Chain A
């Protein structure tokens, strides 16, 4: 174990996996200078064949990832901000997510797409989206959202080694946060949620960037005598529904925290699953804390208003638990 920054854990995973397998290549906009921090040192170590700056042409980059994978490479495509996924969406939606089925299983696509998502940095709406509900709905893509340095490293290594296209979504602006990272060849399997904090009264399911405010909310709730269990699914495709259901069966109350817009969010999806699978255990309605159905505004005060924070989580959670007491 050693304390490492989130961005450093990602960087280590890239270094280790590129050293491990010469078929791993990484390309994207401004990756040679490692503008986003996570690709630091890769160019000097692995050279320009394997680390390559591209023109700004996302529609082509996503298709190229498919072609290079079809031709035998393990591709890491760095897309900077997750909003640029939209620019490259055709090949993601029509090729990457579909070719395996459409070719009767011939196409194997070991592709990892890295992008930073979410708001909080006054980057305005075109650089602040949490657009993963669209990815989740395509069917053929894994989507992983690490909240901690350890999970960032372990999930990225699993993504690169895996044989399915995987979106690795970094919580934006969190690169400096520190956490313990296990030594050695550390991987985290997909589809295993992490119980970040145990509790008996309430389940807080928090996705990616929302784990931090959920933990903060749990601490505030503790001061009020409410013990919240905080669960981080870590991967939303595949989703560890069993762990979520188990926790809700234990607590009878659930709040799902998601930085996506509410309409058709992952929180909505999880809520539907819990309503189906854990209905008899629920003592109160399932609650979602999400971004309202608006674009992320530029002004920091307006941005704070729409992105879920610990106070909103506490408010919804206490309302829920009190309604039961009443």
Chain B
């Protein structure tokens, strides 16, 4: 299965897309996400991280292209595979790294970890360990945005697996009914944890959204420019007060459901190596790089500089995490309630 089977409008890179400055920023953000996660992959393999990490490698174009068009006051909900959304929305790489390392300087003081990175001050209402846990939070946030007429929007990122949760349908209904400024971004990465989508998902996910009458876009999620263009339309629709919009972005999860999944699989497998390799050939970061070079947006030297800058950011984030104090073990008692100890 090399191309997604879709019945929706296929967005292409030829429609009004990002300018050179935007493309370069987009590429740099995608590269940051990639390099941060490659480092996490290595540190997970080396046993340096206390908890599991679910990596976003191969899906970077989606978070980066959508969030590049959001203001700080706009709100997102993310998934258990949430590092990319956090960084794309402007979350601090060092605070994220320290969180995953369970340090008190972490963005959640070490109380949430990889699956729960959040920065409310930047509209990042959190990665979420519950599959589908973000739908209703984003719907509530979008309701708030509608009430305060601030023009802000909410975006809920979710996977094909989450689309099988009932709350997905409920939120499509409420957001359409109330014309909420909400954009659904389905990242169809072809796996529900360890199960191929075809085994657990009937029909086309986009058709579920289409039933509620909202504008729907189906895109190649590994084409950053196509995602950008679809997101521009969806966000404009949501901001106009006309109600929610839907994007189904087809992509592929290069890494396992979580790092070190081989231990859990115990020799079993749910996909072929050749399939993974074919998708590595469609790497969204490499594709955007090729576009930048071929269309004259940037030269090799400029991209080299950018890669160095990103590399320094990652190194700084790891140093910050490594050198920070462990989380405060007494903090849970203080944090359960505002104003009193649990």
Contacts and interface: CB of A to CB of B under 8 A. Distances in A.
A102 B130 CA distance: 13
A142 B171 CA distance: 27
Contacts of A71: 75, 140-141, 144-145, 154
A284 interface: no
Contacts of B135: 60, 63
B120 A64 contact: no
Say which size band chain B's interface belongs to: 35 or more
B112 interface: yes
Nearest to B340: A238
Contact of A70 (B140, B170, B339): B140
A73 B137 CA distance: 13
Nearest to B148: A72
B89 interface: no
A101 B111 contact: yes
A65 B140 contact: yes
A55 B118 contact: no
B154 A60 contact: no
A63 B140 contact: yes
B109 A67 contact: no
Contacts of B332: 101
A57 B133 contact: no
A70 B137 contact: yes
Given A60-B171, A72-B144, A73-B147, A102 B137 contact: no
Interface in A244-301: none
A195 interface: no
Nearest to B95: A104
Contact of B342 (A69, A104, A139): A139
Interface string B136-165: 111111111101100000100000000000
Given A67-B138, A70-B125, A54 B174 contact: yes
A68 interface: yes
A68 B120 contact: no
A102 B173 contact: no
A68 B140 contact: yes
A70 B75 CA distance: 10
A55 B170 contact: yes
B167 A59 contact: yes
A216 to B, nearest CB: 35
Contacts of B142: 67
Given A55-B174, A64-B139, A103 B112 contact: yes
A54 B136 CA distance: 13
Residue from A54, A66, A71, A72 whose CB has the most chain B CB atoms within 10 Å: A71
B338 A95 contact: no
Contacts of B121: 106
Given A101-B336, A103-B112, A67 B133 contact: no
B337 A164 contact: yes
Nearest to B142: A67
B336 A70 contact: no
A163 B338 contact: yes
A95 B116 CA distance: 11
Contacts of B126: 99, 102-103, 107
Contacts of A94: 129-130, 133
Contacts of B339: 163-164
A125 interface: no
Contacts of A75: 140
A225 interface: no
A268 to B, nearest CB: 20
Contacts of A139: 336, 342
Contacts of A163: 338-339
Contact of B109 (A50, A61, A99, A105): A105
A212 interface: no
A99 B125 CA distance: 10
B109 A104 contact: yes
A86 to B, nearest CB: 14
Nearest to B327: A104
A25 to B, nearest CB: 7
A91 interface: yes
Contacts of A73: 144, 147
A106 B141 contact: no
B290 interface: no
B239 to A, nearest CB: 16
Contacts of B133: 63, 90-91, 94-95
Contacts of A103: 108, 111-112, 116, 118, 120, 126
Contacts of A185: none
A242 to B, nearest CB: 15
Given A55-B173, A67-B139, A102 B112 contact: yes
A57 B137 contact: no
A133 interface: no
Contacts of A62: 136
A61 B167 CA distance: 10
A69 B140 contact: yes
Contact of A67 (B130, B143, B340): B143
Given A55-B173, A70-B125, A63 B136 contact: yes
B82 interface: no
B119 interface: yes
A122 interface: no
A42 to B, nearest CB: 15
A124 interface: no
Contacts of B130: 90, 94-95
21 contacts: A25-B147, A54-B174, A55-B170, A55-B173, A60-B136, A63-B133, A64-B143, A66-B136, A67-B140, A70-B75, A71-B141, A91-B133, A94-B130, A100-B338, A102-B108, A103-B112, A103-B116, A105-B335, A106-B118, A139-B342, A163-B339
Interface of A: 25, 49-50, 54-55, 57, 59-73, 75, 90-91, 94-95, 99-108, 139-140, 142, 162-164, 238
> Top 7 closest A-B pairs, CB basis?
A63-B136, A67-B140, A64-B140, A104-B109, A71-B144, A104-B108, A67-B137
Given A63-B135, A71-B154, A101-B335, 4 more contacts: A100-B336, A102-B116, A104-B107, A104-B112
